[in-house]
Structure 1
Amino acid sequence: MITILKTAATALAVTAAMTTAVSAETRITYKSAKAGSSYYQMGVELAEAMKTGTNGDVIVTIEESQGSVQNVMEAKARGGDYVFTTPPALVGLAQQGKAMFENKGDPAFDEIRALFPIPSLTMHFVMSADSGVTELAQLEGKTILLGKGSFGATEGEKYLKLFGLTDKVKVADAEISNAVAALKNGQIDGFVTAGSWPAPNVIEAAASTSVKILSLSDEQIAQTKRTKLTIPAGTYSDQDTDIVTTSLPVVAYTTTAMDDETAYQLTKTFWDSKAKLGGNSPWWNGVDQALLRTIKGQIHPGAVRYYTEAGIALSDDQK
């Protein structure tokens, strides 16, 4: 009888310990981009960093997304375990019920809070060396591939119009996935792409043929109303000087439904892991504390706690 009681007590103790372990584990859903994209891969890398950095206390599940607008829209129906990525500008539009969020406003959008920045969408104007193009004004008469449906395609079309090049440039009717082969074969003079830097397709292009990646002047950048970004010399093959271009900041967000401790752990673990992330995937090296300035709106109180402890200044509007 005593043996039976001891066995039962041991079983209860083991069950209790397992229950405690399970309850201590925090599960997060991270929604970013389409599978196969660089931003989906970033999510995979973040998930591994969170697991390693918290000794398995935080488990992140990656969920495929059709884009930033969908990510924001889902914030109104998700719980405290939801983290998503989007440019800060879209959060502002959602909260104001403007543009793509017109007639789709919801009080829940006011509860969106930032955690930390991730690599920005960075514009690349990639030209073959044979084209002789070294600045945007020289695109006249050239064949450019913009792609379709992506931020890079939309932004590239906007820049051509902005700088008076719309009717002076031939736009190739092809997908951006064909850009490197088309450039190498001389079918196009250049292509426009947007993504984190270093961008995989730009790395491939620079490694397979001689290219020139164009810089924009400060005046041109001001006209685009985008954020100025510098891609350091040496990022791409044969790139001897810095590339000055534009970018669209991207941030990881959650809502006030997330508890402060979880937001704190996610933010702290991200910054603690960033150097290791950058060692494995260089696009993380483009993220630094200066990108916090691009966050318009409030940061989650749990994340604010981390930034305060780390001595990182935030604006009054962000707190």
Structure 2
Amino acid sequence: MTCKSAKTTSSYYQMGVQTSEAMRAETDGGVVVTVEESLRFVQNIIEVRARGGDYVFTTPPALVGLAQRGAAMFEGKGDSAFDEIRALFPIPSLTTHFVVLQDSGVETFADMEGKTILLGSGSFGAREGEKYLGLFGLEGKVTLADSELSNAVAALKNGQIDGFVTAGSYPALNVIEAAAISTTSLPVVAYTKSAMSDDTAYLLTRTFWEQRDDMGSAAAWWNGISPDMIANITDAYRLYQR
């Protein structure tokens, strides 16, 4: 099988590798999952059109809904293949954090007025950060640092910025290095296609839940996964069930 995850430097790529290893161990090598790099969640869905029943990918449920309706970034790109998408199991959510210096005096969104905040550019975290600055009446009242998000922790420690916005799995490595204010999270799910056999889908899903605790011992982000998170997957995305 092939699992399309995210960039090799991201936590979601690491999750794909961990899940692949768990599948191989649980099935004594009977199931081999090759993890492929992906640039973004949207690309993972687009590739559904050309993939078969051996394709597994990760993406937020909201994007699946947009693809099936041919809306937003999928406008003009609709395809009946999107109706074949089936959910397997939830994985750690994409969580947005506002990270600030402890002595910056920032404890609420209003406290960020007059501060220098790094959003980065082009990422989900940057878009969410910009949205929340607007929602809390801070548009034009915050200085936006012109730098890459990869420089955020160093810039924070050096006092060049008062805070930064980042999005990733919880706990994110760059958040562990600093203090964080959690704001929002976006559910992320592992999907496949209806072309995958029920037996294989069941094997993958059962193996995931049986290996979840062991994976959590190696990486804390798995500890936040519970069966309750299945509620984030609506009926429109049709769960494999047995």
TM-score by length of structure 2 reads: 0.97
Residue number among 196, 206, 229 corresponding to 1:291 in the alignment: 229
**Match in the other structure for 2:181:** 214
Q: Over aligned residue pairs, what C-alpha RMSD do you find?
A: 0.9
Which amino acid in the other structure matches residue 214 of structure 1?
I
Deviation at 1:73, TM superposition (A): 0.5
2:32 alignment partner, SS class? strand
CA distance in structure 1 between the aligned counterparts of 2:151 and 2:134, rounded to whole angstroms: 24
**Match in the other structure for 1:258:** 196
Deviation at 1:299, TM superposition (A): 3.2
* Residue 76 (1) aligns with residue 15 (2): no
Which of 1 and 2 has greater Rg?
Answer: 1
**Match in the other structure for 1:146:** 119
CA distance in structure 2 between the aligned counterparts of 1:298 and 1:168, rounded to whole angstroms: 41
Deviation per residue, 1:260-299 (Å, 9 max, x gap): 1100000000000000000000011111111111112233
CA distance in structure 2 between the aligned counterparts of 1:113 and 1:66, rounded to whole angstroms: 22
Which amino acid in the other structure matches residue 121 of structure 2?
K
Instruction: Spell out the pairing of 1:51-62 with structure 2 (5 A cutoff).
Output: 51-62=24-35
CA distance in structure 2 between the aligned counterparts of 1:298 and 1:146, rounded to whole angstroms: 32
Which amino acid in the other structure matches residue 51 of structure 1?
R
CA contact (8 A) 1:136 1:214 kept: no
CA distance in structure 2 between the aligned counterparts of 1:82 and 1:94, rounded to whole angstroms: 17
Deviation at 1:102, TM superposition (A): 0.4
Sequence identity percentage: 67
Deviation per residue, 1:117-147 (Å, 9 max, x gap): 0000001111101111111111100000111
**Match in the other structure for 2:89:** 116
CA distance in structure 1 between the aligned counterparts of 2:48 and 2:186, rounded to whole angstroms: 21
**Match in the other structure for 2:209:** 271
**Match in the other structure for 2:163:** 190
**Match in the other structure for 1:201:** 174
Identify unmatched segments of 5+ residues in structure 2: none
CA contact (8 A) 1:133 1:139 kept: yes
**Match in the other structure for 2:218:** 280
CA contact (8 A) 2:64 2:237 kept: no
**Match in the other structure for 1:234:** none
Deviation at 1:54, TM superposition (A): 1.3
CA contact (8 A) 1:143 1:172 kept: yes
CA contact (8 A) 2:145 2:161 kept: yes
**Match in the other structure for 1:176:** 149
CA distance in structure 2 between the aligned counterparts of 1:289 and 1:276, rounded to whole angstroms: 16
Residue number among 12, 25, 28 corresponding to 1:39 in the alignment: 12
Identify unmatched segments of 5+ residues in structure 1: 1-27, 216-244, 306-319
1:76 alignment partner, SS class? helix
Aligned residues: 241
CA distance in structure 2 between the aligned counterparts of 1:51 and 1:125, rounded to whole angstroms: 37
2:237 alignment partner, SS class? coil
1:118 alignment partner, SS class? strand
Deviation per residue, 1:176-229 (Å, 9 max, x gap): 10000000000000011010011001112x3xxxx3x225xxxxxxxxxxxxxx
* Residue 87 (1) aligns with residue 60 (2): yes
1:59 alignment partner, SS class? coil
TM-score by length of structure 1 reads: 0.74
